[in-house]
Amino acid sequence: MTYAERVQRAPIKEDPVILGIESSCDETAAAVIRGRTLLSSVILSSAAEQAKYGGVVPEIASRAHTEAIGEAVERALREADIAPCQLDAVAVTYGAGLLGALLVGLSFAKAYAFALGIPLIGVDHIRGHMAAAYLTDASLEPPFVTLLASGGHTAVIYTKNYTEFEIMGSTRDDAAGEAFDKAARVLGLPYPGGPNIEKLAKEGRAVIPFPKMFAGGGYDFSYSGLKTAVINYCHNKAQSGESYSRADVAASFQNAACSVLAERAVAAAKAKGADTIAAGGGVIANGFLRDLLAEKCAGAGLRLVLPEKKYCTDNAAMIAAEGLIQYRAGHFADLSLNACAHIPLGKKGKQ
Ligand code: KG4
Ligand code: ZN
């Protein structure tokens, strides 16, 4: 029997056991879910190695994935107390991300699915970030508004149902995470920038009036003006020999970068008459932003679904969660699925 025939004959279950695999950047991650219940999540990161170079070096990331993927999957299965033969599908990130890094996870997932004769599901990494909220709150059902803020994307999305989305607004230039990383570099903070800005900001006050965002209506974002304002502020102070508080710069930047995210998300929910905001992506791990979102949602009578911090940054639980959506929609990949460096936001699922 061919692989395709075995997949066709595999029973479709209501609450399948899915192995998720993620290797798009510097985290090698594996997780197991049963339905919407998370059974295990393992993340092996090469971030400490990458920090020596000030950012992710693709070649180092690929090699680190090759070394870590076997251990990540074995640990995820062991912690979930699941044997490979109990798996119903393998979901893997096929893009967007670093090609060499993606290919490690993708090739591993294909081999695993092929050997077990179970469906392979290709997951768009960003859809994964958006799906993390489904594991946080098992009762979450569309429609709702999703605030997505990662290293490459910033958007307010109307999640109509499990597979249909309307991009209400997105960034016109830098993504929020990118802005955090660039501001961190200006302040001489090591990679990864976001968490380090958050830490420094705790010692400062948001007293510098950095521009929040362009004044245009709608739900779009723009971070290049804010980034330039931070660069100019620091350079001008340095050139004129004036001392300044790096912690105040961090706090003021964080305040400007985060308030617009929270404001746009709440405004979008009101416009759609939605009663819930769900969030995802690395920047949503920011404590200041989480508090702000909680405060603004409470003020507007909105329910907020915030994944735990470790499920906002890259992980495989979210890939398994999106895998479940694709499984239920019957979207399976074949063994020719290739890695994709870029996937436009709003693109309909592959396969
Ligand atoms: O979602 P993610 O882990 O990877 C992408 O898919 O891009 O997001 C990474 C981004 C980085 O820019 C990182 O600086 C930012 O998320 N980030 C944070 C925090 N943790 C990660 N930004 C602000 N505060 C944080 N605590
Ligand atoms: Zn990510």
Q: Which DSSP string do the residues of 138-149 spell out, in sequence order?
A: TT--SSEEEEEE
Residue nearest to ligand 1 atom 3, measured at CA: 313
Write the residue with the smallest CA distance to atom 23 of ligand 1: 194
Contacts of 225 (CB under 8 A, 6+ apart): 211, 213, 214
> Global pTM?
0.96
* pLDDT given at position 349: 47
Determine whether the shortest distance from the Cβ of 169 to ligand 1 is under 6 A: no
- pLDDT at residue 51, as a whole number: 82
Q: Encode pLDDT of 118-130 as tens digits.
A: 999 999 999 999 9
Closest-lying ligand 1 atom to the alpha carbon of residue 24 = 6
Q: Report pLDDT for 12.
A: 93
Q: Which residue out of 150, 171, 226 has the highest number of ligand 1 atoms within 8 Å of its CB and is therefore the one to mutate? A: 150
pLDDT at 232: 96
pLDDT in tens, 44-66: 988 888 888 888 899 999 999 99
- Determine the pLDDT at residue 191: 83
pLDDT for the residue numbered 215? 52
Cα 80 to chain centroid distance, Å, stands at: 23
The label of the residue with tokens 């510098």 reads 208
Ranges under pLDDT 70 in the chain: 213-217, 347-351
